[in-house]
Amino acid sequence: MLVSDQKLHILIVEDNPGDSLLIEDYLNEEFVNPKLSRALTFSQAKDYLTRNLLFNVILLDLSLPDASGEFLVTEIVRLAASTPVIVLTGYSDKDFGVKTLSYGVSDYLLKDELLSSQLHKSIIYSIERKRINIKLNESEEKYRRLFNFSPLPQWVFDVDSLQFLDVNEAAIKHYGYSREEFLQMTIKDIRPLEDIGILQATLDSSKKTGSFNPTVVRHLKKNGELIYVNVEGNSIFFEGRNARMVLVVDITEKIKAEQALMKSEQRFKALVQEGTDLISILDRDGNYIYVSPTTESILGIRPELFIGKNAFDFIFEDDKDRIISQFALLAEQKRIEIPPFRFKVDDNDYRWIETVITDMTDDPSVAGIVANSKDVTLRIENENKLKENIERFNTVSKATSDTIYDWDFSTNKILWNQGMLEIFGHNLTDHTTFDWWYNQVHPDDAERIASNVQLHIQNKKSIWKGEYRFRCMDGTYKFVMDRSFLVYNDTGQPVRMIGSIQDITERVNYIQAIEEQNMRLKEISWIQSHIVRAPLARIMGLVDILKNYPNDDNCRVELLGHILTSADELDDVIKSIVNHTEQVENQQNQYQNQ
């Protein structure tokens, strides 16, 4: 979509009503229903921009009541981020308007010469220029990341001086030099002295032909280690210099392997005799022709004891038919992978064997069926233990009234037992994610609990416990106690979190009820110790006066009236105490009946 076809949202930062009205007329004339926002001060403009409102362009007057000049421009540009800013200035600020371009504004316009077409053109160009610049920056950042995070060493060097201009992290790690050290060196410094002549000849040839063919050369690491590398390069223009970008692949191990393969027969014998695989050659009936010496170290049987015997006689009876049928498939297929089966070592013991058989009867050097076998007993035993653990988990899930879960960190999937349905009403037919659980936790508890779990993981703690409120399917919340065990791998990274969630709503409600009862009892105690004392003290004082003036009838009548008033007041207090006590008893009875 063209910029002119978009519905633009434009922020006008202008305190002059006349200028603002003129700008708005121009914008309505050139654009279709533009959305216009106006700020009379820097503070208002800042409020718009800090509220993350999206604008396509900002029109900025250089002089506002609360800010102007360089401060105003730099702050607006900073707040605008990727939004283009067009400065509107008068003749008196013309020079400064030009200077604002160095502060990051997209354009400046003279108010006295402002036309609608000119404003339209400036806005369209500014938006498009900003979009292109953003894409260029993103592209540069993308290629910079590709360069820096490439797993293979890369660098850029000056074609004339041969000095390193840039290196990636892989090169720093592989060669052992720091970035600063690399940038003080030339490509000659990583070549053996005797190879400098070859390097110079290669560079001279590439200058003449303009091409840089892949080459295998020797390099030196900082620690003096000599390595073989495959070097490929392309000419580039880097920071104003003719340069070449080089990609390096360390093929030292490949070279060593090729050199070692020159002694293939010796190598083969060493692999067969000292390897961890059980290698044998069978005829078409399954009789042993050859067995590698590894059978003695792995199975405890000397290889010569197999020769002439049939391989199927060593297979566990329950597995024999399956292996025979798979062996027969060699009539149609060249290679068969046989899943683990039990191989008898003696009458009382067997090992789990995994085998690949290949028909090489047509190869004169083999003239048989090659069986390459591995002892996978330990793996099978571990798998069986895992199955037992899973079965125990499922059994516990059915037996307990708690909600049990298993969180796999590698997949971010959480498996729940039936308790999630029975206790909370959530009918889960599949795994959930961590986010699902987080959204069910009460908003006032969620951040606290998630942060606490993360803190335990950072501290590599295995046991975690927390209390929070969990939302049921009907929207209500229950108080829960969550206890879990964290499992870490060898590198200290969490792999699983297994735990149970217990409904403690009844316990929490009971505690709250006790606390409310205590509050009421405190109120009763306060009434008894404070409110009761006042009327009681007055009565006692009045009685004392009666004792001192026993013959004054007028005084006695008045005092008796005061005593009666105080007695009524004391009666009201006692009724209040009785009322509070009954409320406490009712609350206790109500809870006991639940």
Q: How far apart are the first and last CA of the chain?
A: 67
Give the separation between CA 250 and CA 170, rounded to whole angstroms: 11
Distance CA 6, CA 57 (A): 12
CB atoms within 10 A of CB 54: 6
Residue 238: band (very low, low, confident or very high) from pLDDT cuts 50, 70, 90:
confident
Phi-psi region of 470 (alpha: psi -120 to 50; beta: other; left: phi over 0): beta
176-190, 200-214, 533-547: which has the highest mean pLDDT? 176-190
Picking from 168-172, 241-245, 514-518, which range would have the lowest pLDDT averaged per residue? Answer: 514-518
For residues 360 and 368, is the Cβ–Cβ distance under 8 A? yes
Pairing of strands 349-360, 241-250: unpaired
Residue 218 — very low, low, confident or very high, per pLDDT cuts 50/70/90? very high
Return the residue matching tokens 């005061």: 562
Confidence of residue 137 (pLDDT cuts 50, 70, 90): low
Q: Are 564 and 543 in contact (CB under 8 A)?
A: no
The residue length of the chain stands at 594
Mean pLDDT (whole number) for 178-202: 92
Q: What is the mean pLDDT of residues 180-187?
A: 94
Neighbours of 149 (CB within 10 A): 10
User: Quick check: 34 pLDDT over 50?
Assistant: yes
Residue 359 has pLDDT above 80, yes or no: yes
Mean pLDDT on 325-333:
89
Q: What are the backbone angles phi and psi of residue 13, rounded to the nearest 5°?
A: -100, 95
Tokens in use for 285?
């009936």
d(CA 163, CA 178): 15
What pLDDT does 173 receive? 93
Cβ neighbours of 320 (radius 10 Å): 15
Q: Rounded to the nearest 10 degrees, what angle do helices 505-526 and 553-592 cross at?
A: 170
Contact in structure between 306 and 291 (CB atoms under 8 Å): yes
Reading the block at residue 300, the tokens are 């405890």
H-type alpha helices, 149-195? 169-175, 179-183
pLDDT tens per residue across span 456-487: 999 999 999 999 999 999 999 999 999 999 99
Residue 592: pLDDT above 60?
Answer: no
Residue at 1: amino acid letter? M
Least-confidence region, from 295-299, 313-317, 366-370, 566-570: 566-570
Q: Is 379 helix (H, G, I), strand (E, B) or coil?
A: helix
Q: Is 375 helix (H, G, I), strand (E, B) or coil?
A: strand
Mean pLDDT of 222-248: 88
Bridge-based pairing state of the strands 368-375 and 432-433: unpaired
Model confidence at 33: pLDDT above 70: yes
Given a cut of 70, is residue 98 above it in pLDDT? yes
Half-sphere CA count of 166, side-chain side, radius 13 A: 16
Residue 163 CA, chain-centre distance (Å), reads 40
- pLDDT value of residue 449: 94
At 2, is the pLDDT very low, low, confident or very high (cuts 50, 70, 90)? very low
User: What is the arithmetic mean of pLDDT over 250-274?
Assistant: 68
> Looking at the DSSP assignment, which residues form a beta bridge with residue 484?
464, 499
* DSSP notation for 372-398: EEEE-HHHHHHHHHHHHHHHHHHHHHH
pLDDT of 274 > 70? The answer is no
Which is more confident, 354 or 89? 354
DSSP 584: H
**Mean pLDDT for the stretch of residues 485-503:** 90
Interacting residues of 244 by C-beta distance below 8 A, sequence separation 6+: 156, 157, 159, 212, 233, 234, 235, 236
Residues 6+ apart with CB under 8 A from 41: 15, 64, 65, 66, 67
For residue 263, pLDDT over 70 is answered with no
Helix axes 264-274, 252-261, angle to 10 degrees: 100
Find the Cα–Cα–Cα–Cα dihedral 444, 450, 456, 458, rounded to 10°: -130
**Confidence check: pLDDT of 49 > 50:** yes
How far does Cα 348 stand from its chain's mean position?
51
User: Using an 8 Å Cβ cutoff, are 577 and 585 in contact?
Assistant: no
pLDDT value at position 510?
A: 78
How large is the average pLDDT for residues 118-129?
Answer: 87
CA distances from 18 to 15, 21, 22, 36, 304 (A): 9, 5, 6, 16, 108
Report whether 133 contacts 112 (CB < 8 A). no
Give the integer Cα–Cα distance in Å for 387 and 18: 81
Helix runs in 465-532, H state only: 505-526
